[in-house]
Amino acid sequence: MLLDIRETVRHSRTLKYVIVLVIAVPLVAVFIGSYFAGRPPPAVATVGKTEISPSAVETAVARQRRQLASMFGGEIPEGFASDAMLREQAINGLIDEAVVENTVAAQKFAVGDETLGRAIRAVPAFQTDGRFDPELYEERVRAEGLTMGAFEQRFRSQSALDQFTSGVVSTSFLLPNERARLDALARQQRTIEGLRLDMDAARDAIEVSDDEVQAYFDERADSYQHPDRVKIAYVRLSAEDLASGIDIAEEDAQYYYDDNSANYITPEQREASHILLEADRDNEDEIAEKEAELEAVKARIEAGESFADLAAELSDDVGSASNGGSLGVITPGAMVPEFEAAVYALPGDVGSLSDPVVSDFGVHLIKLDKVVAEKVKPFEDVREDIIAQLRRNEVDSEYQDLHDQLAELAFENPESLEEVSAATGLEVQQTDWIDAENPAEGIVGHPAVLDAALSADVREDGNNSEPIDVDSRDVVVLRVTDSEGPRQKTLDEVRDEVSLALRTERAAEALDAAAADIEAGLLAGDELAVLAEGRTGAELVEALPLSRNSDDFEPSMINAVFSLPKPTEGQGVAAIATLSDDDRVVYRLVDVKVPETAENSAVDDAPTKAAADPQLGVVEFEALVGALRSRADIDISSP
């Protein structure tokens, strides 16, 4: 058929022109559309020929936010993750993905049709009762807005990436001697001794004159400036404020109560006991035998014997037998349907007995122990709850309408908030100067408000901000009414700060000199007490054993201790560590040993042959990505 069409076209000039027009017109339309639409935004980064778009970064940032919110129960703690940090992480993650994808493409990893088909058929989301369902597959794919071909190409690409990743992660292994070596290193214990030099004590011992403070300030005046500051006008939309202005009429509350009366009814509750004789439900003879036994038991109870005593004697339900067969309140859905139906089918008289009831557990004889009649909560008991609910409903509706209107008007009228205020009834409020050091009071003191006010779009271009979430159902739209750049601080404003900086600098120099002197003494074998003499704030560190997870010092110093070479006879090992509080620790390594393991420990049970180690595989894969990234042609645009 295709050959016939080709021959027909070849011999028909009219058809040729028609086909050219059919192809050309859409192409021209696309070209014109793209011309007027403008160029797409520049890439945030490129990896080889792969571009990372701003939308991809925003999607990755949003995904990170959702993951963090999920970790913290729905809301990210304030200050935990800045926009800049999330953006940087997102860009780096996308670059790593692009590096791996380019490597997979260059190495021609491929997934054949048969392998692809098996992988798709194995996806649980495409199965019904454990078997691949073609109709469900097509439905799910189209629900994602994809054609079958596009989905299968994406799945094929992802499978190739998985193949590449698992080729590293799943094939890493440790030899027995490597595992033993790593275990010994993990259990290694190192003993140090030395001196800790206290920064606070060193700083307190230093005095500086006014002239020295002035000179220090003059040399670094550019470092002491007030940050950018702005004055803003803003409107605030708060669900709480809306609620305070909404009154619910008594008749509306009564109408809601009448219309939803079923919500205020506590249904009848029943307590019951039973005697269970276990039986196979599919064995008719056994069921009939147990039914006959329970009929006889029922007769004994009706003749005056105690249900509780007979339950303790005869029931196969060990859990309730010791309690006279009592099961307590039978709530809907708690029991198998046959049992529950039988309980609620009994007459309302306490002590009523059922006929034998068959369930998957066997055959039951049921006794009604108690009936709590249906109760209806009076309107007065639920009046305040109803009013609060109606107020919430009205606030939800009004808040959403105003929020949409606020966002739309602020965007359509970017140079003023007056139109926004006139249409929504929200008051335009003003602030005095605010900056990072002097934030506004109240809700506009939220960090996101100042971030928006200092953004180029709002401060420099003079536009209204987008709605800024400052609390749950509480948003602000703002604009900058005045702004100033950094301003020089006077010495009087920062005298204490400058004095502290100068004393800290000199104290650090003094500590470094003392540390170098002590280190030389330690290497020479001097006694700690001798080295500590005359040193203010020096604290002895005597024969302190450390493991890799010790908390005697911060992790950076522990890592440094375990990075040192072992001391040898005639060759001591010493080092200086600067801690996060600027204290110095000068120490020498006096002993390195591996503690003996207990008998029957996990080390003794370690594999005697090479064994896969996925954890090592993850580490090796991360190292591989780092190596590939170092060789890749990566260009990150300036923000």
pLDDT digits (tens, 9 = 90+) for 562-576: 999 999 887 889 999
pLDDT for the residue 497: 95
The mean per-residue pLDDT over the stretch 442-462 comes to 90
pTM for this predicted structure: 0.52
Per residue in 370-424, pLDDT tens? 998 888 889 999 999 999 899 989 988 999 999 999 999 999 999 999 999 999 9
d(C-alpha 235, C-alpha 405), whole Å: 13
d(C-alpha 356, C-alpha 363), whole Å: 6
The mean per-residue pLDDT over the stretch 587-603 comes to 76
The pLDDT confidence band at residue 14, using thresholds 50, 70 and 90, is very low
Whether pLDDT at 492 is above 70: yes
Mean pLDDT of the chain: 85
Angle at 404 between CA 402 and CA 405, to 5 degrees: 60
The pLDDT confidence band at residue 19, using thresholds 50, 70 and 90, is very low
Q: What is the DSSP string of 142-163?
A: HHTT--HHHHHHHHHHHHHHHH
The pLDDT confidence band at residue 78, using thresholds 50, 70 and 90, is low
Per residue in 236-274, pLDDT tens? 999 999 988 889 999 999 999 999 888 888 888 899 999
Measured CA distances, 90 to 15, 100, 157, 578, 626 (Å): 52, 15, 21, 32, 16
Contact (CB, 8 A) for 226 and 571: no
Whether pLDDT at 554 is above 80: yes
More confident of the two residues 571 and 544: 544
Nearest by Cα to 572 from 611, 519, 507: 519
Total residue count of the chain as it appears in this document: 639
pLDDT for the residue 620: 84
The pLDDT confidence band at residue 186, using thresholds 50, 70 and 90, is confident
Poorest-confidence range of 525-529, 584-588, 603-607? 603-607
Poorest-confidence range of 129-143, 178-192, 208-222, 439-453? 129-143
Poorest-confidence range of 343-347, 371-375, 478-482? 371-375
The mean per-residue pLDDT over the stretch 126-137 comes to 84
pLDDT for the residue 493: 94
The pLDDT confidence band at residue 24, using thresholds 50, 70 and 90, is very low
Whether pLDDT at 174 is above 70: yes
Report how far apart the first and last C-alpha atoms of the chain are (Å, whole number).
57
The mean per-residue pLDDT over the stretch 531-535 comes to 92
Quote the percentage of the chain above a pLDDT of 70.
Answer: 90
Whether pLDDT at 198 is above 90: yes
The mean per-residue pLDDT over the stretch 281-293 comes to 93
d(C-alpha 249, C-alpha 256), whole Å: 11
The pLDDT confidence band at residue 608, using thresholds 50, 70 and 90, is low
- Identify the three-state secondary structure at position 191: strand
The pLDDT confidence band at residue 70, using thresholds 50, 70 and 90, is confident
The mean per-residue pLDDT over the stretch 523-527 comes to 92
Whether pLDDT at 161 is above 70: yes
The pLDDT confidence band at residue 439, using thresholds 50, 70 and 90, is confident
d(C-alpha 548, C-alpha 592), whole Å: 12
